[in-house]
């Protein structure tokens, strides 16, 4: 086992990344093939838009498409909505403001958080967004919502309330939700998606749709349809590692934070001791409550979230480490004297597997432009104050050749560097919102998603509360290539 320092300047949170060659299970002994019997599959339902995956992007896509008038069905393999933000316990929601404190990720994201009960949201007041006051940045920096000396809107939310909130928003919008159902492969005819096959306790059934939105997080639908995708990663970078998160109760996070700020040398000693005793080691983050600590889990690299044995390995290690961390912190860390294991995540913390090869692409070379792309459907905060906001193109959601499908979430079309922040929950809300609108308009107009007018998408997004660049700035770039062309 070895600890490697993530060396990308584009990391949001400082963290060790661990790589290990030791395995807890032997390799499988299979070989050869078996033939599966061909059979007819019952059609479960027919709809305008099928959203596959109920994580942040899928929730936003289903809500937006339904709000735009589409008949929407969402397929989710777990028993709740929210994906990594809920089942993965990634309750820290990254930045939704730019470096001046302007709220740039809105739409579904804003409505979702506005609907949360106040006691389920922990973060700075709006008056502090963009503040460079040293006292405020020091306070909020220790609560994962101030970066580069600037306070940001990056709250921590109660995961159980998020599950209910997402569910009720989608039901109110008229979305059909199907839990405990795993989208296994798309139905492709003449180069276009016509629906998906999914597995459940009922067996294999089909969901037919005019447009499919792949929000699986790993690009399962577009990959199995034969669409282009990229898998290049930066080895050792925190953005391309895996972990299982957990929460520990009975703590005093204010005491912990005060201690680590006042006694940094003692903190270093504690961390060295933890690594020595546990091997993999992680310090806690705040949650939505001061008596609950969030551990995002030691980040483990060199393992693939597309390999079932690798995924199993991470889970085995992580569940052992949860109890080990609880014991270690209870015995050694101020504020953890009465700590107890509360909950481990039901979903594996996956950061990267595939990225779509799209009509358009978000690339690092364009971060410094500060101008909107011709087919802008969203605005993301940049990685640091060195860069302006990032304009998100509709083309990053559209496969190069595959029709009948749009893509949203952490697997959109972008380079490896841009993926480091475009995979975050607010950005998944943003791209999901745009994909949902594009899918609804394509279904309504009877055209392929690539042929939908970007002006129509932008108009509908604005009507649903999204924040976009001024139309005049986008219209001035009409001569440039957009997805519809």
Residue-wise pLDDT for 352-391, tens only, equals 999 999 999 999 999 988 889 999 999 999 999 999 999 9
For the chain, what is the mean pLDDT?
Answer: 92
Cβ proximity of 62 and 51 under 8 Å: yes
Domain range list for the chain: 40-116+158-233+352-484, 238-350
Q: What is the CATH number of domain 40-116+158-233+352-484?
A: 3.50.50.60
Tokens of 302: 């060199």
Neighbours of 450 (CB within 10 A): 25
Report pLDDT for 203: 96
Dist. CA 395–CA 375, nearest whole Å: 7
pLDDT digits (tens, 9 = 90+) for 234-245: 655 555 688 899
Q: Are strands 182-189 and 192-200 parallel, antiparallel or unpaired?
A: antiparallel
Report pLDDT for 484: 44
Report pLDDT for 241: 81
Report pLDDT for 297: 82
Q: Which of 337, 352, 336 is nearest to 301 (CA)?
A: 352
Tokens of 204: 């294999």
Average pLDDT over residues 438-458: 98
Average pLDDT over residues 262-278: 96
Name the band, by pLDDT with cuts 50, 70 and 90, for residue 477: low
Dist. CA 4–CA 2, nearest whole Å: 6
Report pLDDT for 356: 97
Calculated CA dihedral for residues 54, 57, 59, 60, nearest 10 degrees: -170
Report pLDDT for 332: 98
Dist. CA 482–CA 467, nearest whole Å: 20
Average pLDDT over residues 185-195: 98
Q: What is the pTM of this model?
A: 0.94
Lowest mean pLDDT among 16-25, 88-97, 172-181, 434-443: 16-25
């Amino acid at each position: 086992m070895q600890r490697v320092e993530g060396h990308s300047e584009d990391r949001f949170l400082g963290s060790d990344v661990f790589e290990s060659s030791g395995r807890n299970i032997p390799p499988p002994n299979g070989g050869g093939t078996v033939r599966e019997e061909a059979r007819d599959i019952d059609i479960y339902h027919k709809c305008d838009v099928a959203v596959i995956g109920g994580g942040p992007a899928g929730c936003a896509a289903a809500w937006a498409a339904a709000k735009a008038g589409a008949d929407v069905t969402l397929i989710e393999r777990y028993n709740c909505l929210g994906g990594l933000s809920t089942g993965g316990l990634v309750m820290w929601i990254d930045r939704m403001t730019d470096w001046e404190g302007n709220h740039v990720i809105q739409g579904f994201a804003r409505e979702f958080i506005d609907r949360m009960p106040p006691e389920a949201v922990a973060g700075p007041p709006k008056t502090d967004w963009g503040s460079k006051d040293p006292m405020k940045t020091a306070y909020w920096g220790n609560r994962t919502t101030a970066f580069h000396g600037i306070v940001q809107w990056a709250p921590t939310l109660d995961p159980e309330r998020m599950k209910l909130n997402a569910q009720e928003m989608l039901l109110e919008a008229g979305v059909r939700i199907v839990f405990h159902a795993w989208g296994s492969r798309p139905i492709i005819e003449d180069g276009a998606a016509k629906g998906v096959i999914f597995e459940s306790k009922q067996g294999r059934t089909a969901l037919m749709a005019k447009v499919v939105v792949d929000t699986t997080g790993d690009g399962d639908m577009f990959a199995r349809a034969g669409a282009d995708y990229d898998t290049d990663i930066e080895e050792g970078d925190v953005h391309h590692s895996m972990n299982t998160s957990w929460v520990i109760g009975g703590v005093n996070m204010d005491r912990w934070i005060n201690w680590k700020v006042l006694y940094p040398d003692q903190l270093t000693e504690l961390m060295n001791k933890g690594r020595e005793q546990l091997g993999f080691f992680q310090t806690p983050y705040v949650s939505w409550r001061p008596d609950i600590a969030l551990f995002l889990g030691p980040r483990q690299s060199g393992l693939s979230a597309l390999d079932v044995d690798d995924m199993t390995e991470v889970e085995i290690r992580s569940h052992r480490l949860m109890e080990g961390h609880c014991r270690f912190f209870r015995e050694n860390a101020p504020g953890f004297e009465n700590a107890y294991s509360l909950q481990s995540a039901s979903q594996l913390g996956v950061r990267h597997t595939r990225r779509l090869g799209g009509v358009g692409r978000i690339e690092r070379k364009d971060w410094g432009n500060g101008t909107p792309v011709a087919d802008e459907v969203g605005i993301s905060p940049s990685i640091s104050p060195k860069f302006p906001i990032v304009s998100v193109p509709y083309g990053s959601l559209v496969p190069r050749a595959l029709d009948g499908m749009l893509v949203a979430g952490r697997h959109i079309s972008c380079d490896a560097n841009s993926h480091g922040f475009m995979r975050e929950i607010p950005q998944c809300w943003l791209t999901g919102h745009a994909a949902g609108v594009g899918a609804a308009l394509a279904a309504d107009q009877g055209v392929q998603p690539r042929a939908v007018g970007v002006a129509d998408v932008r108009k509908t997004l604005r009507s649903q509360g999204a924040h976009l660049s001024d139309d005049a700035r986008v219209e001035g770039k009409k001569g440039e290539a957009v997805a519809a062309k």
